[in-house]
């Protein structure tokens, strides 16, 4: 259920911080083995829900799962992030990626086939062996020495097909495999093609397999440069309407709009929007290593809550079974009454509706079980998990906070991420308050003649206007007083409660920045300070 920055992701020396990482990792692993695993084994949790966790599940880097219909740009998206090809990569308009490919860091470039991958104790894929050879022949690990992959791993999935091919031709349960990955990754990215938007029934089923993992899902509306602004607005609306029918949550999913490949934009009218959206998506992915500890802890809590509910269900079914005659008929009756049993357990143990497993799936799994082999309720096992949730988790949260304060901010670096961080092509460079930062001339000077005309209509005294006079002009911008108050503080460079012609021009410039949709700086950047208010440079004698 987890992926996390542990030994594999944190191998470099960070002084005291690395010890904290191992302490938190070890603490979670110890809690699982001592408190939760006994409950799972006693009530056969692994047969119904998720396999037992192993060492690699606790030690692995954060993982990102890409899912979408064929030709939505999943593999191209990975190529865009890494800025290099990876073993097994195939790109084309037809369904090219027919395998699950785990793109991970390695000292040398190469690939590992699925059958060898699931016996490697250092990789978190051992439990995938239960899906059989049909799946393992379509699963591989692509390893390469790439800076991005030092912090995260990326899972590329086959393009989702339409009709019977999706359900029959693969030879394995595609949605079950997606669910297995969804429980263990840190981020699920659903990709859609803006040029041919469609959510097929098969894609809908795939999305529904992510039930309970809604907080991990992000949506990318890719290839948005192939449509104009009006068409993009309609496509975006249609996408949100379609997603609303498939993902049953009151919250609106975060959708990133752009064209994620290293080619010229076909339609440049939305370039600024695409750049802002790409920057937001990069920030979300870059934060995964830093948030991995909390994600891991959150997944452990979700697993513990499900295991408790499962124990109540199984023990109830055991209690209701007759000791001698009519066992089979009673079993059928209990399975058909499962929705009513859920309601009864919900009231008896004060359990939230959202903690119960899906009824239909549970009924199907119970069909093949011998209820007489189920165990009765064992309060000590439940108490151990309750104690873990109430007390032990809190101490681990304190350790995580200690980790965050002791360690430097862990960010994904390399590949496309470096291209957005610095230089003239970084996001927001030369825009808003940053405009003119690399110019010798004061950036406000080009508009100052127009501002001076307004300034002298306000009847300055001794070259300055009062706050009252400035306010009369500034409120015409219709900006709220809280924003105008901040602009006043930034513009009144000498703090005398009045504005000279340069300070007034600066105030008008800051108003323009805000009206253009940019944020105001917290403190006035040096390049915006009016020339007459700049302190002369100290020269050595």
Residue 413 lies in a domain: no
Residue 82 lies in a domain: yes
Question: Which CATH number belongs to the domain containing residue 443 in this structure?
Answer: 1.10.238.10
pTM for the whole thing? 0.75
Q: Name the token pair of 288.
A: 């995964």
Do residue 256 and residue 374 come from a single domain? no
State the Cα–Cα distance between residues 49 and 45, nearest whole angstrom.
6
> In whole angstroms, what is the distance from residue 86 CA to residue 79 CA?
8
Tell me, yes or no, whether 268 and 119 share the same domain.
yes
- Considering the domain architecture, whether residues 97 and 234 belong to the same structural domain is answered as yes
Torsion sign (Cα): 228, 231, 236, 237: positive
Q: What length does the chain have?
A: 541
Tracing tokens 């699920």 back to the chain, one arrives at: 188
Q: Domain of 343: which CATH number?
A: 1.10.268.20
Q: Contacts from 341-348 at CB under 8 Å and sequence distance 24+? A: 341/313, 341/316, 341/317, 342/313, 344/316, 345/309, 345/312, 345/313, 345/316
User: Does residue 8 lie in a domain region?
Assistant: no
Total domains, the chain: 3
The domain in which residue 521 lies consists of: 432-533
The reply to whether 1 falls in a domain is no
Per-residue pLDDT of the chain (541 residues; tens, 9 = 90+): 443 333 333 333 333 444 444 567 778 888 999 999 999 999 999 999 988 988 888 888 899 999 998 888 898 999 999 989 998 887 765 555 578 999 999 999 999 999 999 999 889 999 999 999 999 999 999 999 999 999 999 999 988 876 555 555 678 888 889 999 998 999 999 999 988 787 888 888 889 889 888 889 999 999 999 999 999 999 999 999 888 888 877 778 899 999 998 788 888 889 889 988 999 999 999 989 888 888 888 889 999 999 999 999 999 999 999 988 888 999 999 999 999 999 999 999 999 988 999 999 999 999 999 999 999 999 999 999 999 999 888 888 887 777 666 666 667 888 888 765 556 666 667 788 888 888 889 999 999 999 999 999 999 999 999 999 999 999 999 999 999 999 999 999 999 999 999 999 999 999 999 999 888 999 999 999 999 998 764 444 4
Looking up tokens 């009513």 gives: 340
The answer to whether 188 and 156 are in contact (CB under 8 A) is no
Question: CA of 484: how far to CAs of 198, 471, 518, 524, in Å?
Answer: 46, 9, 14, 15
Q: Is residue 201 part of a domain?
A: yes
């Amino acid at each position: 259920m987890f992926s996390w920055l542990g030994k594999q992701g944190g191998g470099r020396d960070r002084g005291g911080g690395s010890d904290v990482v191992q302490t938190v990792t070890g603490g979670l692993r110890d809690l699982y083995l001592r408190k939760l695993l006994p409950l799972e084994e006693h009530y056969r949790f692994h047969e119904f829900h998720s396999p037992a966790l192993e060492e690699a599940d606790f030690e692995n880097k954060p993982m990102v799962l890409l899912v979408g219909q064929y030709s939505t740009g999943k593999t191209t998206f990975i190529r865009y992030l890494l800025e290099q090809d990876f073993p097994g990569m195939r790109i084309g308009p037809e369904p090219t990626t027919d395998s699950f490919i785990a793109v991970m860091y390695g000292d040398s470039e190469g690939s590992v086939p699925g059958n060898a991958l699931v016996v490697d104790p250092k990789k978190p894929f051992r439990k995938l062996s239960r899906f059989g050879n049909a799946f393992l022949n379509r699963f591989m690990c692509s390893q390469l020495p790439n800076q991005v992959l030092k912090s995260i791993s990326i899972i590329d999935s086959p393009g989702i097909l339409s009709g019977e091919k999706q359900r029959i031709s693969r030879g394995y349960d595609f949605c079950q495999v997606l669910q297995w990955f969804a429980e263990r990754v840190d981020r699920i990215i659903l990709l859609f093609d803006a040029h041919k938007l469609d959510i097929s029934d098969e894609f809908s089923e795939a999305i529904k397999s992510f039930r309970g993992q809604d907080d991990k899902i992000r949506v990318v509306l890719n290839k948005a440069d192939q449509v104009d602004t009006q068409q993009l607005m309609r496509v975006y609306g249609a996408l949100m309407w379609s997603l609303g029918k498939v993902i049953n949550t009151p919250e609106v999913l975060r959708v990133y709009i752009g064209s994620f490949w290293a080619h010229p934009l076909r339609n440049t009218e939305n370039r600024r929007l695409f750049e802002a959206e790409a920057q937001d998506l990069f920030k979300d992915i870059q934060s995964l290593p830093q948030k991995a500890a909390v994600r891991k802890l959150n997944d452990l809590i979700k697993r513990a809550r499900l295991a408790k509910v499962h124990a109540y269900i199984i023990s109830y079914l055991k209690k209701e079974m007759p000791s001698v005659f009519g066992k089979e008929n009673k079993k059928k009756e209990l399975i058909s009454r499962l929705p009513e049993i859920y309601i009864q357990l919900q009231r008896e143990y004060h359990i939230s509706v959202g903690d119960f497993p899906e009824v239909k799936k549970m009924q199907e799994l119970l069909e093949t079980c011998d209820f007489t082999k189920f165990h009765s309720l064992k309060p000590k096992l439940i108490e151990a998990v309750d104690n873990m949730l109430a007390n032990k988790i809190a101490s681990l949260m304190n350790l995580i906070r200690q980790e965050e304060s002791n360690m430097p901010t862990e960010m994904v670096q390399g590949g496309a991420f470096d291209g957005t961080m610095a230089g003239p092509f970084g996001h927001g460079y030369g825009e808003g308050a940053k405009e003119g930062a690399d110019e010798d001339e004061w950036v406000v000077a080009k508009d100052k003649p127009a501002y001076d005309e307004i300034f002298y209509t306000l009847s300055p005294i001794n070259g300055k206007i009062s706050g009252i006079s400035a306010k009369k002009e500034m409120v015409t911008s219709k900006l709220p007083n809280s924003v105008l108050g901040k602009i006043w503080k930034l513009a009144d460079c000498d703090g005398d409660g009045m504005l000279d012609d340069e300070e007034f021009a600066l105030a008008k410039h800051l108003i323009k920045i805000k009206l253009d949709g940019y944020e105001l700086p917290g403190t006035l950047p040096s390049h915006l300070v009016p020339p007459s208010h700049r302190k002369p440079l100290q020269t050595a004698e």
